Chain A
Amino acid sequence: MKKIEAIIKPFKLDDVKEALTGAGIIGMTVTEVRGFGRQKGHTEMYRGGEYTVDFLPKIKIEIVVPDALADKVVSLVTGAARTGSIGDGKVFVEPLEEAFRIRTGERGDNAV
Chain B
Amino acid sequence: MKDLGSFARTYRGRIAAVVIVACFLAVGGWVFAQDKPPAPAPAVVAAAAPAPPPSKPDPAGTATGGIADVTAKTAGKPTLEEVADFAGHNRVSLNIMWTLLTGFLVMFMQAGFALVETGFTRAKNVAHTMMMNFMVYAIGMTGYWICGFALQMGGLGAISTMGGTGLLDSEFVISLFGKDFGLFGMKGFFLSGSTYDVAVFTLFLFQMVFMDTAATIPTGAMAERWKFSSFVVFGFFLSMFTYPIFANWVWGGGWLSQLGKNFGLGHGHVDFAGSSVVHMVGGVTALAGAMVLGPRIGKYNKDGSANPIPGHNIPMGVLGCFILAFGWFGFNPGSTLAGADLRISVVAVNTMLASASGAIFAMFYMWFKYGKPDPSMMVNGMLAGLVAITAPCGFVSSFWAFFIGAVSGVLVCWAAVFIETVMRIDDPVGAIAVHGVNGAWGVLSLGLFSDGTYGDGFNGVEGTVRGLFYGGASQFVAQIIGTVTCFVFIFSASWAFFKVYDVVFGMRVSPEVEMEGLDVPEMGVHGYPEIQGPATLVHAMGASMPKTPAMTMAPERSR
Contacts and interface: CB of A to CB of B under 8 A. Distances in A.
A65 B374 CA distance: 47
A52 B545 CA distance: 10
A51 interface: yes
A68 to B, nearest CB: 38
A82 to B, nearest CB: 26
7 contacts: A46-B376, A47-B420, A48-B413, A48-B416, A51-B310, A51-B542, A53-B542
Contact of A54 (B374, B416, B430, B542): B542
A41 B543 CA distance: 10
Interface in B15-73: none
B537 A55 contact: yes
Contacts of A34: 537, 540
Given A45-B308, A48-B416, A52-B543, 20 more contacts: A41-B540, A45-B372, A46-B308, A46-B311, A46-B374, A47-B308, A47-B374, A47-B376, A47-B416, A47-B430, A49-B306, A49-B307, A49-B308, A49-B417, A50-B308, A51-B542, A52-B542, A52-B544, A54-B540, A55-B536
Interface stretch (B107-115, B363-371, B394-402): B363-371
Contacts of A97: none
Given A46-B310, A47-B377, A48-B417, A53 B370 contact: no
Which residue of A41, A45, A49, A52 has the most chain B CB atoms within 10 A of its CB atom?
A: A49
B541 interface: yes
Contacts of A45: 308, 370-372, 374
A55 B374 contact: no
Contacts, number: 55
Interface residues of A, number: 14
A36 to B, nearest CB: 10
A66 B541 CA distance: 42
Given A34-B537, A34-B540, A45-B370, A51 B307 contact: yes
Contacts of B416: 47-48
A55 B308 CA distance: 16
A60 B416 CA distance: 40
Contacts of B310: 44, 46, 51
Interface residues of A, dominant DSSP: strand
A47 B374 CA distance: 6
Contacts of B430: 47
Given A34-B537, A55-B537, A48 B543 contact: no
A32 to B, nearest CB: 10
A22 B541 CA distance: 40
Nearest to B311: A46
A8 B544 CA distance: 27
B537 A51 contact: no
Interface string A19-49: 0000000000000001000000100111111
B542 A47 contact: no
Interface string A54-88: 11000000000000000000000000000000000
Contacts of A41: 540, 542
Interface in B276-314: 306-311
Contact of A51 (B370, B371, B541): B541
A45 B373 CA distance: 10
A44 B540 CA distance: 12
Nearest to B433: A47
B376 A54 contact: no
A51 B543 CA distance: 9
Contacts of A46: 308-311, 374, 376
A24 B126 CA distance: 46
A51 B420 CA distance: 15
A-B complex: 9 closest residue pairs judged by Cβ atoms: A52-B542, A49-B308, A46-B308, A46-B310, A51-B308, A55-B540, A48-B417, A53-B540, A48-B370
Which residue of A48, A50, A54 has the most chain B CB atoms within 10 A of its CB atom?
A: A48
Which residue of A34, A44, A46, A55 has the most chain B CB atoms within 10 A of its CB atom?
A: A46
Contacts of A52: 542-544
A74 B537 CA distance: 29
